[in-house]
Homo-oligomer: A and B are copies of this chain.
Amino acid sequence: MKRKPSTEATAAWIRLMRVQSRVLDAVEQDLKKAGFPPLAWYDALLELSRSPTGEMRPVELEKQMLIPQYSTSRLIDRLVDEGLAVRRECKMDKRGQFVEITEAGRELQKKMWGAYSAAIEKHVGSKLSDADALKLCGLLDRLGCSCGDVKAPAIVKEGIPSR
């Protein structure tokens, strides 16, 4: 295996990091200006709201969101503190628990989507044609295993995406 990346691969990686970081900063700023909590709250609430029963095991949320276990634990803490979710014990597995979204959580998720979708349009949608967006997805898929991912395209068709 080659040990040195080509200049093209290196440039692509650097560009990927810089652009993603810049756009994410802009999106987060838009959300903050609109008075919303961090994007991770939205992501968690979205995953919970998409669950048929409105509840998930923390370990499932952890897998969907691709964050460390201790991050999941603490994110749930914050959602619970704000009344956006509740913890309930899992009868089948006493080690674990369920996290269930509350009505307030569903409301916030919907409201955040309003600002989040506007931010996506502003920083991404207005700069890429649909054809280019599809091309970008295809290229990015080469870098990450997309098969095991949440079916983002299918979910996006619902109009409310997963991250």
Contacts and interface: CB of A to CB of B under 8 A. Distances in A.
Interface of A: 1-24, 66, 117-118, 120-128, 130, 132-137, 139-144, 146, 149, 152-153, 156-157, 159, 161-163
Given A66-B22, A124-B13, A130 B4 contact: no
Given A7-B153, A14-B163, A21 B66 contact: yes
Contacts of A128: 8-9, 12, 139, 142-143
Count of chain copies: 2
A137 B3 CA distance: 22
A9 to B, nearest CB: 4
Contact of A120 (B13, B24, B156, B157): B13
Contact of A121 (B2, B126, B136, B144): B2
